[in-house]
Amino acid sequence: MQRSATPRICLVVNPLAGVGGQLALKGSDGEAGLRALKLGARPVAPARTARFLAAARRNGVLSNVLFLTAGGVMGAKELASAGARFDVVYDPPAWPTTRMDTLETVRRCVDREAELVVFVGGDGTARDVAEALRDAGAPEKPVLGVPSGVKVYSSVFAESPEAAAYALMEWLETRSTCSAEVVDIDEELFRRGVLSIKLYAELKTACSSYMVGSSKQPTRLGSDEAENLKAIARHFVERYYRNCTLYVMGPGQTVRAIAEELGVEKTLLGVDVVHSGRVLLRDAKENELYRAVLEHLKRGGSVYVVVTPIGGQGYILGRGNQQISPRILRLVGRDRIVVAATRSKLKRLKKLRIDTDDPELNAELRGYFRVIVDYGEEVLVKAE
């Protein structure tokens, strides 16, 4: 098929993607997204779409492509605000939208000879895009994920909305593609503290340094890994722990090992608050965390945020711990963020990554962090 003079790019936005993050819902698929809306959660995908399009305008892409998209909040609204050229190929019949709207949009984009599918969402949306391409007989058509979900573990995603715009620019120049994985977790097991990751598909995506590059890798605890966790925990307790200090403790086995050294039982996949040897909040929502931090600081106390990178990807903020929001991080301050990771996990990472919903805060947080890797040992690792 001869390539059209103006590249046609499919843009499909899952407006519910990521809506459950700050409410500690562990995802936004199905009923979780509807529940988040009923609880008053604010959709985050529109703002992330706007960030992607703003970066595409800055790098000159926006004026050189025709977007094929769905109506309203599934793409057309943000494209119109950005001044982009677009055609609406599908109108969702109702709000809230569903995965069927995503499937139909992608199928119609394929019918209209879209050369690349850009989608805004998380791993559930990536699965829907893969299914739609398979049903449309176009499983080799390349995709590019703009991260917006609570779970963003697949390697079809760019590092951030801005990075997605630059990956799109590179793809338009080279048409170079690489194989990438679509993985997802079982959300029901995840809400019960069990991390079960499954490979659902392999897709083509843009070959670019702006892509995540690897799917999440769960930590497997051998004897050496377990001893390393204990050593990290002992170091943390000796250097950072004080009874009068409040600790906002993110998800992950490394942070849970620290909690165990403190003598408290921490959720594996939630964000907990620990103070004076006891858990004040377990699997807390963003508003609960914010109140606890603000009140403690008003009383003159100190607060630390304790996190560990996502294995294989390196995110310390903005993935799986959206409850630790930008306003909380601004209250606490960069110098009170403690990062811990086992040697084996850190060895597999090229860098640390940050992608909160606040681009200005992301810029302020970039730079080197001290990472606890063993007892008596911290190393400097750059976060971008």
CA angle, corner 225, sides to 222 and 229, nearest 5? 135
d(C-alpha 246, C-alpha 340), whole Å:
17
DSSP sequence for 63-84 = GG-EEEEESGGGBHHHHHHHT-
Q: Is the pLDDT of residue 99 over 60?
A: yes
Predicted local distance difference test score (pLDDT) of residue 305: 98
Among 241-245, 289-293, 311-315, the range with the most confident prediction by mean pLDDT is 289-293
Sequence-distant (≥ 6) Cβ neighbours of residue 376 within 8 angstroms: 235
Query: Quick one: pLDDT band at residue 2, thresholds 50, 70, 90?
Result: very low
Read off the pLDDT of each residue in 369-380 and give the average, rounded to a whole number.
Answer: 97
Cis peptide upstream of residue 309 (ω within 30 degrees of 0): no
Pull the structure tokens for residue 130: 């893969």
Predicted local distance difference test score (pLDDT) of residue 350: 85
Read off the pLDDT of each residue in 89-112 and give the average, rounded to a whole number.
Answer: 97
On whether the pTM is more than 0.85, the answer is: yes
Q: Is the pLDDT of residue 126 over 70?
A: yes
User: What's the whole-number average pLDDT of the chain?
Assistant: 92
Selection from 188, 196, 168 nearest residue 61 by Cα: 168
Class of domain 8-206: alpha beta
Q: Is the pLDDT of residue 220 over 70?
A: no
| More confident position, 50 or 213 | 50
d(C-alpha 328, C-alpha 323), whole Å:
9
Query: Quick one: pLDDT band at residue 42, thresholds 50, 70, 90?
Result: confident
Question: Is the torsion defined by CA of 316, 318, 321, 327 positive or negative?
Answer: positive
Predicted local distance difference test score (pLDDT) of residue 101: 98
Pull the structure tokens for residue 311: 């294995």
C-alpha 189: how far from chain center: 19
Whether 10 and 143 have beta carbons less than 8 Å apart is answered as no
Q: Could you tell me which residues are beta bridge partners of residue 158?
A: 211
Class of domain 223-383: alpha beta
User: pLDDT by residue (tens digit) across 59-93?
Assistant: 999 999 999 999 999 999 999 999 999 999 999 99
Give, in order, the Cα–Cα distances in Å from 83 to each of 8, 121, 171, 283, 307: 16, 22, 22, 41, 39
Q: Where are the domains of the chain?
A: 8-206, 223-383
Predicted local distance difference test score (pLDDT) of residue 312: 84
Whose tokens are 């919903």? That residue is 357
Percent of the chain whose pLDDT exceeds 70: 89
Q: Is the pLDDT of residue 1 over 90?
A: no
d(C-alpha 119, C-alpha 122), whole Å:
9
Q: Is the pLDDT of residue 4 over 90?
A: no
DSSP sequence for 193-257 = T---EEEEEEEEEE--TTB--S--------HHHHHHHHHHHHHHHHHH--TT-EEEE-SSHHHHH
Pull the structure tokens for residue 46: 């529109």
Selection from 288, 259, 141 nearest residue 201 by Cα: 141
